[in-house]
Chains A and B, each alone.
Chain A
Amino acid sequence: MKKSFMQFVMGTAILGLAMTASAAGISSNVVKIGVLTDMSGVYSAIGGKGSVTAAKMAIDDFGGKVLGKPIQLISADHQNKADIASTKAREWADTEHVDMITGLLNSGCALAVQKIGTEKKMISMATGAGSTTLTNEHCSPYGIHYVYDTYALPKVAGSAIVDTGGKTWYFLTADYAFGHSLEKNTKAFVKAHGGKTLGQVRHPLATADFSSYLLQAQASGAKVIGLANAGGDFINAVKQAREFGIVQGGQTIAGMLVFLSDVKSLGLDVAQGMNFATSFYWDRDAASREWSKRYFAKTNAMPTMDQAGVYSAVTTYLKAIKKAGTDDPDTVMKTMRGMKINDFFSINGYLRADGSMVHDMFLVEVKKPSESKSPWDLLKVIKQVPGNEAFMPLSEGSCALVK
């Protein structure tokens, strides 16, 4: 009797130890990933439901479990409003015990979530936001900027366009922080490569009529009209530029932030010949084709760089948990910083101390209708730019975490 009692006590103790050990591995016995994206607004084609599908694919491909614990996915619409993103992220951290948030299609939302992440020790991996402030003055030990930023895009596209003869520029800029930052950075690269900016005009966000801006750009006589805007504004500007015969008149249009979905909705007829920078194109190599075709089967659209980025971010995060043996945010961040990130999305990728995920970028050109063989055969890759050349060097940055 006494012996069996001792056995019982010992057994319980061992069981208890085993349980605490597993608790140190995965907090709350589940890894929860939140996709916070734009489900209904201007950026919903860039991220939206496609991003949720991509995250789901990443979890399924990982086997649905990490370190023997289930992986859960939740998603919500941030409506491109920083306060909604902040409320949701706080709620997810407090009541849902979310471990990592990805998506985040605009800079205001990404900044807000990154702040919450810093406070609550929750990792954020922004795939859709552009602002370089995420990895500079507002950088966070738990914040990762995964896909692109407003430094890398103009560096790749702007420099290449100047080098191929586009020496004089005129900017059409969306009148808010993102547009300003894109314009400022592009101007700097144009200047550094011996080009010249002749002027710029600012238009409000979500403009329907670009005629007066386009006429000013046309009158400037600049070789290149740089569009420092995104989404619907970009599409409207390009369509109307065609109506004014700007391209036929010998001027080139350069989009500073173009997603595959933008090209698709413009059509090759309108967009042909345009150069821009991107982190990802589905028809880039065998690996990207293979994944994108699987994605296409689920969503009936080829992935944008944001959607592919979400898959890659989730996979990288799960790999890091597996490698670290825990989902403790500090350890996982440390592990991710030590990892090489190579997959169908990211080439030669690595995570820097300031939170930038540095990887190779691509200069692409929109195909002519005659070159395109299938509905999604839209771009050709002209140049692969190594990450270290594309992204802002740490020495130029202002992140307090970089010593």
Chain B
Amino acid sequence: MNRKLWTALFLLGMVAPFLLYPVFVMQLLCFALFACAFNLLLGYAGLLSFGHAAFFGGAAYITGYLVKNTGLTPELGVLVGTLAAGMMGYLFGLLTIRRQGIYFAMITLALAQVVFFIALKSPFTGGEDGLQDIPRGMFLGLINLGHTYHIAGKPLELNLYYFVFAIFCLGFWIIHRAIHSPFGQVLKAIRENEPRAISLGYKVERVKLLAFVLSASLTGTAGATKSLVFQLASLTDSSWHASGEVILMTLLGGLGTVLGPVVGAFTVITLQSELSGLGSWVMVIIGATFVVCVLAFRRGFVGEVLEKIRIRAIKHNK
């Protein structure tokens, strides 16, 4: 059952650029990876970070700058962006991981605002104009990611799409593995009852820090990839709005479910894009959606479906 679902989703991902506008699908994938990475922390470790935009935007700037100015190939650019976000995550984690609840959220927000301020002030980021004109470059020095195929009169950036899709699959796989490994089990144990996990002998802070770094790194991967897709790294990615948006995506889709954040990211980005003609009403509509979601189905889209399946299975067994 599960295998069939994954295969179907993978095939859907493979043909998506022919069905939808490829750049839009790439945007969806980047945000889906961002939300999945965030979910690893919130859904499985129970840590609400309000500063993930720092990793998303920070990695976008670093990758963009290096690819643009040093001629780094895109895959190395994404790798460096990921590592840089991981380093930042480690520093943030060291400072915040001992705190819980609102204090954790507030400190991560404060640190993210520091990063935002640096992005605003540093000469290399281009301030509020953003870092523009980032080349897509040659993958492994061989494949031109900027190449556009014209199939049936439609411009298709297939090289770039499959590059992004591969990164997404890799990131998603890493998260999936982490969640279903003993490490993931320990994370869940900590989320459910931290004192008990401590009494069982787990070094709780180390596990949490590792989760934080992993989440930050993959967030960085998403940000770095986005900077290549849009050839642009801007303040939007590192502002606190982005941190808020990813929380919304995760909650809408289903906290602590593997596919939930993907569904949530797709929903939010599609709403934003389809409703963009309505101007400021977009925020109102998304806000209303969120309220309805919290009131009517608190587990999120995917969470509710899984719950239905679980209840049916229990009834069936009786």
Which chain A residues have a beta carbon within 8 Å of chain B's beta carbons? 39-40, 76-77, 81-84, 86-88, 90-91, 94-95, 106-108, 111-112, 115, 131, 133, 138, 176-178, 205
- 98-157 of chain B: CB within 8 A of chain A: 120, 126-130, 132-133, 154-155
Partner of B230, one of A76, A83, A108, A111: A83
Is B129 a contact partner of A111 (Cβ separation < 8 A)? yes
Total interface residues on B, CB under 8 Å, equals: 24
A329 to chain B, nearest CB (A): 16
Q: Is residue B234 contacting chain A, with contact meaning CB distance below 8 A?
A: yes
Is B232 a contact partner of A177 (Cβ separation < 8 A)? no
Question: Contacts A40-B280, A87-B27, A94-B155; is A176 near B128 (CB within 8 Å)?
Answer: yes
Total number of residue pairs linking A and B with CB closer than 8 Å:
69
Question: Contacts A94-B21, A94-B155; is A176 near B236 (CB within 8 Å)?
Answer: no
Is B120 a contact partner of A112 (Cβ separation < 8 A)? no
Q: Is residue B201 contacting chain A, with contact meaning CB distance below 8 A?
A: no
Q: How far is the CA of A81 from the CA of B127 in the complex (A)?
A: 12
Q: How far is the CA of A107 from the CA of B126 in the complex (A)?
A: 11
What are the 8 tightest A-B residue pairs by CB atom distance, in nearest-first order? A40-B280, A40-B279, A39-B279, A108-B129, A177-B127, A82-B130, A176-B128, A82-B234
A37 to chain B, nearest CB (A): 10
Against A, the Cβ 8 Å flags (1 = close, 0 = not) of B233-271 are 010110000000000000000000000000000000000
Q: How far is the CA of A106 from the CA of B130 in the complex (A)?
A: 12
Q: How far is the CA of A133 from the CA of B24 in the complex (A)?
A: 29
Q: Is residue B23 contacting chain A, with contact meaning CB distance below 8 A?
A: yes
Q: How far is the CA of A143 from the CA of B129 in the complex (A)?
A: 17
Residues of A within 8 A of B132 (CB): 82, 111-112, 115, 138
Is A77 a contact partner of B276 (Cβ separation < 8 A)? yes
Is B129 a contact partner of A107 (Cβ separation < 8 A)? yes
Q: Is residue B159 contacting chain A, with contact meaning CB distance below 8 A?
A: no
Q: How far is the CA of A81 from the CA of B233 in the complex (A)?
A: 11
Is A112 a contact partner of B130 (Cβ separation < 8 A)? yes
Residues of A within 8 A of B129 (CB): 82, 107-108, 111, 131, 133, 177
Q: Is residue B182 contacting chain A, with contact meaning CB distance below 8 A?
A: no
A136 to chain B, nearest CB (A): 13
B146 to chain A, nearest CB (A): 8
Interchain Cβ contacts under 8 Å between A and B, 22 examples = A39-B279, A76-B277, A82-B132, A82-B236, A83-B130, A83-B230, A83-B232, A83-B236, A83-B237, A87-B27, A90-B23, A91-B23, A94-B155, A107-B129, A108-B129, A115-B132, A115-B231, A131-B129, A138-B132, A176-B120, A177-B128, A205-B128
A346 to chain B, nearest CB (A): 27
Residues of A within 8 A of B230 (CB): 83, 86-87, 90
Residues of B within 8 A of A94 (CB): 21, 23, 154-155
Apart from A82-B234, A86-B231, A94-B23, 15 more pairs, CB < 8 Å: A76-B277, A77-B276, A81-B234, A82-B232, A83-B130, A84-B276, A94-B154, A108-B128, A108-B234, A112-B132, A115-B132, A115-B133, A115-B231, A133-B129, A176-B128
Partner of B127, one of A84, A90, A176: A176
B239 to chain A, nearest CB (A): 9
Is A88 a contact partner of B276 (Cβ separation < 8 A)? yes
B88 to chain A, nearest CB (A): 21
Residues of A within 8 A of B130 (CB): 82-83, 108, 112
A118 to chain B, nearest CB (A): 9
Q: How far is the CA of A95 from the CA of B130 in the complex (A)?
A: 25
Q: How far is the CA of A52 from the CA of B19 in the complex (A)?
A: 31
B244 to chain A, nearest CB (A): 15
Which of A94, A138, A178 has the largest number of chain B CB atoms within 10 A? Answer: A94
A91 to chain B, nearest CB (A): 6
Q: How far is the CA of A131 from the CA of B27 in the complex (A)?
A: 28
B42 to chain A, nearest CB (A): 24
B161 to chain A, nearest CB (A): 13
Partner of B23, one of A39, A87, A177: A87
B170 to chain A, nearest CB (A): 24
A312 to chain B, nearest CB (A): 25
Q: How far is the CA of A77 from the CA of B277 in the complex (A)?
A: 7
Residue of A nearest to B21 (CB): A95
A48 to chain B, nearest CB (A): 9
Residues of A within 8 A of B232 (CB): 82-83, 86, 112
Residues of A within 8 A of B133 (CB): 115, 138
Q: How far is the CA of A87 from the CA of B269 in the complex (A)?
A: 12
Question: Contacts A86-B230, A108-B129, A111-B129; is A77 near B23 (CB within 8 Å)?
Answer: no
Residue of B nearest to A177 (CB): B127
- 274-301 of chain B: CB within 8 A of chain A: 276-277, 279-280
Which of A83, A84, A94, A138 has the largest number of chain B CB atoms within 10 A? Answer: A83
Residues of B within 8 A of A108 (CB): 128-130, 234
Q: How far is the CA of A77 from the CA of B275 in the complex (A)?
A: 10
Q: How far is the CA of A82 from the CA of B230 in the complex (A)?
A: 10
Residues of B within 8 A of A112 (CB): 130, 132, 232
